[in-house]
Amino acid sequence: MDGKASTLVHILVIALSLTAFGFAIAAERRRSTGTITTDNFNATYCVYDSDVATGYGVGSFLFLLSSQSLLMGVTKCMCFGKPLAPGGNRAWSIIYFASSWLTFLIAESCLLAGATKNAYHTKYRHVIYAQNWTCESLRKGVFIAGSVFAVFTMILNVYYYMYFAKATDQAARKTNKSSSTVGMAGYT
């Protein structure tokens, strides 16, 4: 790495995360809605429209997963590979690492839950027996929450990678320095 984080990794992480963000916004805008219909036997059903939001939600999930996997593969999940030099860069690297995983898990949970719930409503029709004539639909904001946490994950991942690169470079410089040693042989 030579003291600098790879620009290609930064660009790929940002591009994948922003694509996940875009898909999550598209999923929110295309959530399924239900309409009440009555069939020939006078049974009332909720019929749901297209399943596009589910595909967008799953796409967002996969793009964010790819972004996180790429970065964890490059940094070897911070557990394997080169050691990190003690100091501020290592501390910030650990903080950003833990924070990015937390926001990543929240984002993925929102996206997966939204896609699953949206798919459930579009695949099945429910007979309505009560006097309450409403069709269930995915709650507003589930995909938005996923998209917001995807952006937080992207920002934290960029900072994590930046501090990780600095900490590994410091460790490499410290091990490459020639250290002065005390000679143990006697004068003769």
**% helix, strand, coil for the chain, step of 5:** 65, 5, 30
Dihedral sign from CA coordinates of 94, 98, 99, 101:
positive
125 pLDDT above the threshold of 90: no
Residues 152-179, buried b or exposed e (16+ Cβ, 10 A)?
A: bbbebbbbbbbbbbbbbbbbbeeeeeee
69 pLDDT above the threshold of 90: yes
Instruction: Give the whole-angstrom CA distance, residue 9 versus residue 4.
Output: 11
pLDDT cut 90: percent of the chain above it? 47
Residue pLDDT, tens place only, 131-178: 666 677 777 889 999 999 999 999 999 999 999 988 887 765 655 555
Q: Decide if 50 contacts 7 (C-beta within 8 A).
A: no
Residue pLDDT, tens place only, 108-118: 999 999 988 88
Kindly report the average pLDDT of the chain as a whole number: 83
Among 155, 104, 144, which Cα is nearest to 23's? 144
Domain boundaries, the chain: 7-168
184 pLDDT above the threshold of 80: no
Tell me, what's the pLDDT at 41? 75
Across 40-44, 48-52, 83-87, 111-115, which has the greatest mean pLDDT?
Answer: 111-115
Among 168, 160, 24, 11, which Cα is nearest to 99's? 160
pTM of structure: 0.79
